[in-house]
Structure 1
Amino acid sequence: MSLEIPSPQVRVAVAADAQAACNVLRRSIAECCEVDHKNDRAILDAWLGNKTPQMVESWFVSPTNFSVVAELDGAVAGVALLTGAGKLALCYVLPEARGQGLGKAMLARVEEQVLCWGVKALQLHSTATGQGFFASRGYTDAGKVRSPYGVETVFFWKQLDASGDAGADATKRKRFCNCNSA
């Protein structure tokens, strides 16, 4: 008999998710990204400085952002945030939820949203911790960039509209797109 891992449920984030999502961000950064912050208190404090429930709530309710959470057994265990410019600003999971498909599920939902918006490519700045994950999902490494909080990141991008034509293919996608559903 095999032990079945529950599949993550990804849904649009709401203001009421801010506290749990903030916990995901803070724990993931502190516990999973040690190779990035090297336990340097100044870097960690700067990185976590804007990761408060109030700030996360403001990101979730902003009309220019698209945010999702991933749940395992009804509890928020992952969070991703896409800006209107087509930049993935956040994609984090709880340390104990790593390797259970949350990141893949959230990224797939965000990529779907990017296509619904008519944006042809998604870009992001990845930590060293997340570099392998994004590379394995087809993202192109475009070089290193230092973050405002002092961590070296990797600039990644991915072409999502393979046709390069925003015409008929995009129209077909939008007609069947589930972008506006929660």
Structure 2
Amino acid sequence: MTIAIRTAEPDDAKDACDVLRRSISECCEDDHRHDAEVLAAWLGNKTPENVRCWFGAQANHSMVAIVDDRLAGVAVMTRQGRIVLFYVAPESRHIGAGKAMLQALETQARNWGLASLQVTSTLTARCFYARNGYIEGATAKTSYGAEGVLFSKRLVASYPQKPACRCNLAAG
């Protein structure tokens, strides 16, 4: 089995959309609880056209995981350090594709000079983020009506120090 992570391309949109929809429908049952209204709201914008737009947006960095030549995961991160989309195909869970994709996002965020990443996780992915060093915060309702968990991860050992105030020197 080979796992490759690469930048998403517009031609990936159809397969990526399929992964999104199957992951939500089949893996996130603890989140949607088979509530047709929640599921319809969650899946409503998951179309190939929208995914293609997300991949093409300059404000985003989009990645896909390829497992044995099949698209198996999709992730989108904003330049502000928010992971806004992160899903793995049901058959590709627990094989390292998600972890590799997350590490690639973290590398990109560091390259952009970001000090931290944030994500609103599903209940299903809660343990995944915790295992990968993300710190759990508050819970929040998602835009589609399910419960979400806020997570963050510090990417740098320390934040840059501000220069000392030199106000007193001018008062002399």
TM-score w.r.t. length of structure 1? 0.87
Amino acid at match of 1:20: D
State how far apart, in whole Å, the 1-side matches of 2:126 and 2:96 are.
Answer: 16
Aligned counterpart for 2:27 among listed residues 25, 32, 56: 32
Tell me what 1:162 maps to.
157
State how far apart, in whole Å, the 1-side matches of 2:76 and 2:53 are.
Answer: 12
Query: Where do residues 80-99 of structure 1 align in structure 2 (5 Å cutoff)?
Result: 80-99=75-94
Amino acid at match of 1:87: R
Indicate yes or no: 2:39 matched with 1:64: no
Tell me what 2:101 maps to.
106
Say if 1:7 and 1:101, in contact at 8 Å, map to a contact too: no
Tell me what 2:6 maps to.
11
3-state SS in 2 of match to 1:105: helix
Deviation at 1:46, TM superposition (A): 0.1
Query: Where do residues 43-58 of structure 1 align in structure 2 (5 Å cutoff)?
Result: 43-58=38-53
State how far apart, in whole Å, the 2-side matches of 1:25 and 1:114 are.
Answer: 23
Amino acid at match of 2:70: A
TM-score w.r.t. length of structure 2? 0.92
Deviation at 1:161, TM superposition (A): 1.0
Deviation at 1:163, TM superposition (A): 2.6
Amino acid at match of 2:141: R
Amino acid at match of 2:148: T
Amino acid at match of 1:131: R
3-state SS in 2 of match to 1:79: strand
Deviation at 1:73, TM superposition (A): 1.2
Aligned counterpart for 1:117 among listed residues 112, 115, 118: 112
Indicate yes or no: 2:148 matched with 1:153: yes
Deviation at 1:39, TM superposition (A): 0.4
Tell me what 2:170 maps to.
none
Runs of 4+ off more than 3 Å: none
Say if 1:27 and 1:94, in contact at 8 Å, map to a contact too: yes
Identity of aligned residues (%): 47
Q: Which has the larger radius of gyration?
A: 2
3-state SS in 2 of match to 1:57: helix
State how far apart, in whole Å, the 2-side matches of 1:72 and 1:126 are.
Answer: 23
State how far apart, in whole Å, the 1-side matches of 2:62 and 2:50 are.
Answer: 13
3-state SS in 2 of match to 1:31: helix
Amino acid at match of 1:32: C
Amino acid at match of 2:95: Q
Deviation at 1:165, TM superposition (A): 2.6
3-state SS in 1 of match to 2:124: helix
